[in-house]
Homo-oligomer: A and B are copies of this chain.
């Protein structure tokens, strides 16, 4: 069984991605980051999801993105509420500078140690809020980089970054997750750390999730503070 490193945030997208990784015949090694995010509930969700979906192992890398700041997810900047996500054209304040570049760099390091060539990331270019590092051109640029950056790459390993959700709508992702047995009650998507342990129902992430369940004709199993 081929090993793969799967980035696991604890949200809906990465849970579905982990399920797809297993379906595709890989042995999943799940990787999460404690990066000073304000919504620490994510990591608890990641642990539940990794256990529930049978990840071979789950490691949490401690990194500190707060030393640079610059994002509502790591800084003391308010998380925006009730934005019209889909018509908003600018990149929102919840963008964390170079986040997926940093995450994939760690995944690549772990791949080399594991002798793995495959990484899975739940990046999504459709419903997502316009983050540059969730686009196909980012994914392929990183694959090229991985080939020249590593001992394994120089020795002939062809690294592949699987982004199976990249062109799927949130509704499609939810349907796919349900089909593959993902228990979405274990996931946590909310950006706001101040909702008493519940999802706030109003940040970009909650709104995309709620819209997705609505479009899929399903009910979201988690509890919201307010919708």
Q: A154–B141 contact, CB under 8 A? A: no
The distance in angstroms between the C-alpha atoms of A68 and B149, with both chains bound, is 17
State how many angstroms separate the Cβ of A172 from the closest Cβ of chain B.
Answer: 25
Give the interface residue-count category, chain A. Answer: 35 or more
The distance in angstroms between the C-alpha atoms of A64 and B62, with both chains bound, is 6
Query: Is residue A211 contacting chain B, with contact meaning CB distance below 8 A?
Result: no
Q: With contacts A91-B154, A132-B153 known, is A62 near B65, CB below 8 A?
A: no
Can you list 28 pairs linking A and B with CB atoms under 8 Å apart? A61-B64, A62-B63, A65-B109, A70-B112, A96-B109, A97-B109, A97-B110, A97-B112, A97-B151, A98-B106, A98-B108, A98-B109, A99-B109, A100-B149, A101-B145, A101-B146, A101-B149, A102-B106, A102-B109, A105-B105, A132-B150, A138-B145, A138-B149, A141-B141, A141-B145, A141-B149, A142-B149, A145-B145
- Residue from the list B64, B113, B153 in contact with A69, Cβ < 8 A: B113
Count this chain's copies in the assembly.
Answer: 2
Query: Is residue A59 contacting chain B, with contact meaning CB distance below 8 A?
Result: yes
Query: Is residue A158 contacting chain B, with contact meaning CB distance below 8 A?
Result: no
Query: Is residue A144 contacting chain B, with contact meaning CB distance below 8 A?
Result: yes
Interface residues of A in 108-122 (CB under 8 A from B): 108-110, 112-113
Q: B138–A97 contact, CB under 8 A? A: no
The distance in angstroms between the C-alpha atoms of A100 and B61, with both chains bound, is 17
Q: A150–B98 contact, CB under 8 A? A: yes
Residues from chain B with Cβ under 8 Å of A108 in the complex: 97-98, 101
The distance in angstroms between the C-alpha atoms of A148 and B142, with both chains bound, is 10
The distance in angstroms between the C-alpha atoms of A2 and B102, with both chains bound, is 24
